[in-house]
Chain A
Amino acid sequence: DTGVSQNPRHKITKRGQNVTFRCDPISEHNRLYWYRQTLGQGPEFLTYFQNEAQLEKSRLLSDRFSAERPKGSFSTLEIQRTEQGDSAMYLCASSLVSAQAREQYFGPGTRLTVT
């Protein structure tokens, strides 16, 4: 399967714990995005990378959140000192930047539940 993969698919953690999610994009895609989605809402942008450089961060991304994309391949999203409000589906997407290509390819998401 050459699509976007995310691990784990589900994560249950206690409030105050740290969690880390991984995203493996489509191999030739140079852009990688993280989104968060809560029930009944569309995905909300968190941050994105072009190759290994993190180029934009949303105001939604508090200082408890950090993302990396070493070597421009896979990416990790870490949440420190989790809060119940962090419970959501975390989606990763990748795309190939070009004048014509604008669509993004999403992974299956990581469902986080903070108890």
Chain B
Amino acid sequence: SQKIEQNSEALNIQEGKTATLTCNYTNYSPAYLQWYRQDPGRGPVFLLLIRENEKEKRKERLKVTFDTTLKQSLFHITASQPADSATYLCANGGSQGNLIFGKGTKLSVKP
């Protein structure tokens, strides 16, 4: 079955550094991957979508890569700020358009 894995449950970094989060997928080749941000007690918020034929996508301080050879997507936040602290979810579209999510990585940016 399709599986999305975010191996790091938590990531702690210093303000100003680049945060790099990893998402791996197994048993299939997704046409696209999505990244969401979720704050405590709130629903996920869409950040970026990258398609299989795109190597990289950027939005302000965010960058996502998609490596179909490694079956992996990397999510980068450059010049991180304490306000970036949240849980970041990787997701892939299921057969019916529903999203299949990883467990998420909780990012803490210390001032």
Contacts and interface: CB of A to CB of B under 8 A. Distances in A.
Interface of A: 4, 31, 33, 35, 40-45, 48, 55-56, 58, 91, 93, 95, 97, 102-109, 111
A101 to B, nearest CB: 9
Given A102-B34, A103-B49, A108-B43, A56 B101 contact: no
Contact of A31 (B32, B97, B104): B97
Given A106-B43, A106-B44, A43 B103 contact: no
Contacts of A43: 44, 89, 99, 101
A32 to B, nearest CB: 11
Contacts of B89: 42-43
B98 interface: yes
Contact of A106 (B4, B45, B100, B102): B45
B64 interface: no
Given A31-B97, A40-B103, A48-B98, A102 B43 contact: no
Interface of B: 4, 9, 32, 34, 36, 41-46, 49, 89, 91, 93-94, 96-104
A61 B89 CA distance: 23
Contacts of B91: 42
Given A55-B96, A56-B96, A102-B34, A44 B101 contact: yes
Contact of A97 (B36, B41, B97): B97
Given A102-B34, A103-B46, 9 more contacts: A35-B99, A43-B89, A91-B44, A102-B97, A103-B49, A105-B46, A106-B36, A108-B41, A108-B42
